[in-house]
Structure 1
Amino acid sequence: MTTTTRWTRRHLDLITEDPATTAPPILGPAEAALPGLDLWDMWAIQDEDGTTALFDGRELWMGLTAPALGHPEDRHDVARIRLLALDAGKWIDLGNLFPDEESPGSREWSGTAIRRPDGTVSVFYTATGHRGEPRPTFVQRVIEARLPLGNSRQPRSGSHREIVRSDSEFYLPADDLEGGPGNIRAFRDPAWFRGHLLIAASIPWGDRHMGAIALTGPESEGWPLRPPLLIADGINREIERPHIVTHNNLHYLFFCTHHQSFEPPDTAPTGLYGFVSTTLDGPYEPLNGSGLVIANPATQPDQAYAWMVLDDLRVVSFLDYRGPADRTHFGGTVAPLLKLHLEGNRTHIEPAIGIS
C-alpha cells in the first residue's frame, strides 16, 4: 500500500548553500551536441532492471529537440524526440525517433525508454496537444510506443497507445488549452521502474494546484493509478521528471523543479531534489534533510535543468540559461556530467566528469 510522503516548508527551511549540494559553475563556450538544434531533457535507454543498456557496445539516448531558432521557450511547442548514440564520449545524431505525424500529440515531451527481452524498446513519453490541432494546447497523455531500434537514421515506426490517464480520485486532469511551462497542470514525464511508472502529476490545492508524483500499479495489472507517492505540500506547483534509482538496497526517488515553481517563488533553488526509502511504496525521507541534492550555483541560478540520475550515479542535465532568458544566453545542449555519492540519507556531488 502506497504511503504518501509530504514535502513541506519545514524541509525547505533546512536548505543551506553547501558545496556538497552545489553544482560547479559552467563556464566558457558550449559546443552544441546537435548543431542547429536545441537539445534538452535527455534519457538513456535502460534494461528492465534499470541498468543502462548497451547496443553493440555503445549507449543509445533520447532527448527532446527543436530548431535552434527564435526564443528558446518556443521550443516546447514543436518538441520532437530524437535518438542519439554515445560512442567513446561523442554524441552521434540518429535522427527523429518517430516519423512525422505518427505521435498522437502535436509535439512530444519527456519520458523514458526500456529495452524488452525480445529486443524491442518501449518508449514511454508524453504526447502533448493533439495531432493536427490549429494551435498548441497543453493536454498531456502518457503513451507507450513499442518499436525496434537499429543504427539507421530513418525514423522508426511503431504502435502508440495511451496507457494511463489522470483521474479525479487522486490527480487533476492535465487538459489545459492555454498556458505555458510552469503555468499548466501536469500528467507527464513517465519513468519506468520495475514494471511500474512514475509520473509528474498535479493535485488540487484550494483554487490552485500543487505538484505530485503519481505511481502506477504494475504493467501486468494494466497500470492502475495509486495514491501519490509524494506531494509538494503547498510549497511547489511543478515537480518534473521523477525517477527512482536503487543503491545499496535503498530506493532513491529523484525529481527536478525550478525556483519560480515554489510557493512563494524563489524560496528554494532550481535543482535536483530527492528522497529515500527502503521500499518502493514509501514512506520516503528527504535526502540531506531538505530534499536538495544538486542546486545550480547562486552566480548562475538557471545554468542547468532536467537532471536524470543513471544506475551508475552519473547525472545528466542540459545547459539552460547562463544569464537572461534569451537566445544569446541559452545553451540548448548537454551540460557537463556530474556524479553523485549516496550514503543512506546523505548525498554529495563528486567532481564533474566530461563526456569527451
Structure 2
Amino acid sequence: MSDPADGTGGRTSAWTREHARRLERTAENTAPVIYPPESKTDPDNHIWDTWLLRTPEGAVADVGGYRVIVALTASNDLLPGKRHDVATHRFYYSADGRHWTPGGEVFDDADPLGSRQWAGSAVYDPETGDVRLYYTAAGVRAEGALSYTQHLAVAHGGSIETDAEDGVRFEGPWHHESLAHPDGEWYERQEQSRGMIYTFRDPWYFEDPETGEAYVLFEANTPVPEGSDACGGDAARQEFNGSVGIARTSKTDPTECELLPPLVDAVCVNQELERPHVVYREGTYYLFVASHRHTFAPGIEGYDALYGFAADSLFERYEPLNGSGLVATNPSNAPFQAYSWLAYGHRDEVLVTSFLNYYDYDRPTLDDVAYLPESEQFRRFGGTLAPTLRLGVDGRETWIRGALDHGHLPTEEEDLPETEDERIARLRAERDDGGGDGY
C-alpha cells in the first residue's frame, strides 16, 4: 500500500488477536443491568441505532432550544428481527434532553437512495441553517427481492425549523446523492466477500479540530484474497476482516469524496466494526466502534460491546484502549441488553448512548431469539433509548463512572449528578477537613 503524499500517512493500524485475547469483563467495563422504562421513546415504533444532530465541529446542536436525534425505526407491529428490512429514519426532539417528542419521518418529501436506509450521521450548521444527513443506502430502489448491497449516501439542501406551536420539523427539498462505493483495493466489494457479513456503511462526518479538514468515517471490510498468508493462511479466520474506513470530503460540497486507506483493520479478529466515530479530547483522538460477540473470529471470546482505540492524531497509529479495546459491555446475565453505542464528550468525561435491545435474555446467541414464541420476541425486545453511560477517560484507559436515565442526553452546559465515587471522595475530604461526620 502506497502512502498518500498529503500528510495522512496512509498506514493502517491493526487490532490484533493478541489485543483481543485480553478481552475480559471487569467492574470497570461492565454496564449495570437495564430494566425497561415505564414508557418507550416512541409508542408506535421500534427505535434502534440513534445519533445526535451535531454542529460541523461536533458539538450537540441547539436548534431553537431543542436537541434532536435521528434514529432507525420500524413499526412496533413488526417482529423485531425483521426491522432492518424496512428501516426508516425518524427524528425526535427535546427541550431538556430527557423527554423526547416524535417528529415523524425525516425524508417525507422525496425518496432516499436504497430500498431502505441504515445508520449514518446528521450535521446542522447554525450559521446557515443547512442540514446534511449522511446515511447508508441499503439495497436498491424497486428491487424485486431484498438485497444487501450497501453504499454511502448524503442528503443535502434541507433545513430544520422550530416554532412554539409545531416544535421541530425538517424541511426539504432534499437532494439525495451517492457519496462512495468500495474500491476493491482498500475496501472490499460485495463480490469479493467471503465472510459471514458484508459491510460498507455507517457514514459519520468529522472535522479534524487540529487541521480543519473534513472527513467521513465508515464501516468496511479489508479485501483478503483466497490463498493469502493472512492469519497464517487460516481461511476460516480470513473471513473476519472488518475495518474502519475514512474518506476526505468537503465542508462546502457534501458530495465530494476521496477514499483513503483504513484507519484500523481487524483482519483475523472481527468482521464488523460498526458505527465508527471519533471523540477528540485534549490532543487525543478516541476512535469508537460497536461490535457483536458472534462477529469475532474463531479462538477469540468477545462481547456485544463498545470498543475503542486512541491516537495522537487522526492518522497516527491507534492503540486499543485498556490494552484490549474493550470499553463498555453488557453484564453476563444480560449479554444483549444494549447495542449500537455512540459516544460524545461532556466536560471531563464521555457520555455513551445506546438502545435497549434484547433484555431478560441470557442465551449464548441472538440466533436463538427466532426459536422463541413471537409474543416473547416482542416482550424481550426493548426498541427504545437505553440509559446513558458515563465514561471516565485518562489517556489510554477508560472506566464506567455510572449511568443516567433512559434517553438522557445532556449538553455541554448541563451539570451531571454526583457519582458514587465522587460522593465517597467528597465525604472523605469533609471528614479529613473536620467538616463532616464521615460515611
TM-score bracket, shorter-length normalisation: over 0.9
> What is aligned with 1:330?
381
Aligned AA (1:295): T
1:353 match: 404
- TM-score, structure 1 as length reference: 0.93
**Per-residue deviation at 1:9?**
1.2
Matched residue SS, 1:193: strand
Displacement of 1:153: 5.0
- Report how many residues are paired: 353
Q: For residue 277 of structure 1, what is the aligned residue in structure 2?
A: 311
- How many angstroms apart in 2 are the aligned matches of 1:118 and 1:28? 40
**Which residue among 91, 99, 102 is the counterpart of 2:108?**
99
Distance in 1 separating the partners of 2:36 and 2:358: 13
2:357 maps to what in 1? 320
Alignment partner of 2:62 out of 50, 54, 68? 54
Contact between 1:2 and 1:282, CA under 8 Å: does it hold in 2? no
Alpha-carbon offset, residue 237 of structure 1: 0.9
Q: What does residue 177 of structure 2 align with? A: 161
Give, as a single letter, the amino acid of the residue that structure 1 aligns with 2:142: G
1:190 maps to which of 199, 203, 211: 203
Partner amino acid, structure 1, of 2:99: K
Give the aligned partner of residue 139 of structure 1: 149
Find out whether 1:150 has 2:161 as its counterpart: yes
Contact 1:2 1:281 in 2 (8 A): yes
Distance in 1 (CA, whole Å) between partners of 2:10 and 2:200 is 19
Residue aligned with 1:90, SS: coil
After the TM superposition, which of the residue ranges 104-113 and 10-19 deviates more from structure 2? 10-19
Q: Distance in 2 between matches of 1:347 and 1:11?
A: 16
Give the Cα separation in 1 of the matches to 2:197 and 2:203: 17
Shift in CA distance, 257/240, structure 1 to aligned 2, threshold 3 Å? same
Q: Contact (CA 8 Å) 2:291, 2:304: kept in 1 or not?
A: yes
Q: CA deviation at 1:68?
A: 1.5
- Which of 282, 297, 301 is equivalent to 2:331? 297
Give the conservation status (yes or no) of the 8 Å contact 1:176–1:185.
no
Q: Secondary structure at the match of 1:18?
A: coil
Please list, as runs of the form range in 1=range in 2, the aligned pairs for 1:203-242 lying within 5 A after superposition. Answer: 203-207=222-226, 208-219=239-250, 222-242=256-276
* 1:267 matches 2:301: yes
**Residues in 1 aligned to 2:170 and 2:55: alpha-carbon distance in whole angstroms:** 23
Instruction: Encode CA deviations 1:304-329: one digit per residue, 9 max, x unaligned.
Output: 00000013222110001111632221
Secondary structure of the corresponding residue to residue 142 of structure 1: strand
Matching residue of 2:229: none
- Equivalence for 1:199: 218
3-state SS, counterpart of residue 74 of structure 1: helix
Structure 2 unmatched ranges of 5 or more: 1-8, 163-167, 208-213, 227-238, 364-368, 370-376, 409-439
Selected match of 2:93 from 75, 85, 92: 85
Which of 58, 62, 76 is matched with 1:68 structurally? 76
Answering whether residue 181 of structure 2 is matched by residue 130 of structure 1, we say no
Contact 2:188 2:221 in 1 (8 A): yes
**TM-score normalised by length of structure 2:** 0.76
- How far has the Cα of 1:199 moved from its partner? 0.6
- Structure 1 residues 38 and 265, CA, compared in 2 at 3 Å: closer, same or farther? farther
Amino acid aligned to 1:85? Y
Give the partner amino acid of 1:123. Answer: L
What is the RMSD computed on CA atoms of the aligned residues?
A: 2.2
Shift of residue 264, structure 1, vs aligned partner: 2.0
| Cα distance between partner residues in 2 of 1:23 and 1:2 | 36
Contact kept? 2:120, 2:204, Cα under 8 Å: yes
Query: Given residue 316 of structure 1, which amino acid in structure 2 is its aligned partner?
Result: T
CA distance in 1, matches of 2:169, 2:190: 33
Cα distance between partner residues in 1 of 2:243 and 2:196:
15
Amino acid at match of 1:237: Q
Separation in 1, partners of 2:161, 2:289: 30
Alignment of 1:247-258 (within 5 A): 247-258=281-292
Greater share of strand residues, 1 or 2? 1
Q: Please list every run of 5 or more consecutive structure 1 residues that lacks an aligned counterpart in the other structure.
A: none
Q: Kindly state the Cα deviation for residue 144 of structure 1 after the two structures are TM-superposed.
A: 1.0
The residue type equivalent to 1:216 in the other structure is A
Q: 1:119 to 1:169 in 2, by over 3 A?
A: same
Higher relative contact order (CA 8 A, sep 6+): 1
Q: Given that residues 50 and 311 in structure 1 are in contact (C-alpha distance below 8 angstroms), is that contact kept between their aligned partners in structure 2?
A: no
Contact 2:109 2:172 in 1 (8 A): no
- Flag the structure with larger Rg: 2
Give, in angstroms, the shift of residue 172 of structure 1: 1.0
Q: Which has the higher helix share?
A: 2
Over the matched positions of the two proteins, sequence identity in percent amounts to: 34
Task: Give, in angstroms, the shift of residue 99 of structure 1.
Answer: 2.0
Task: For residue 209 of structure 1, report the CA deviation from its aligned partner.
Answer: 5.0
Between the aligned partners of 2:109 and 2:45, the Cα distance in structure 1 is 17
Shift of 1:265: 7.8
Shift of 1:134: 2.0
Decide whether the 8 Å contact of 1:11 with 1:290 is kept in 2. yes
What per-residue deviation string (whole Å, max 9, x for no partner) do you get for residues 22-73 of structure 1?
Answer: 1111125552100121001100011111111111122111000001224312
2:222–2:267 CA contact under 8 A, matched in 1: no
With over 3 angstroms needed to count, the CA separation of the structure-2 counterparts of 1:335 and 1:265, relative to structure 1, is farther
CA distance in 1, matches of 2:201, 2:389: 25
Contact 1:58 1:86 in 2 (8 A): yes
Change in 2 beyond 3 A, CA 1:68/1:36:
same
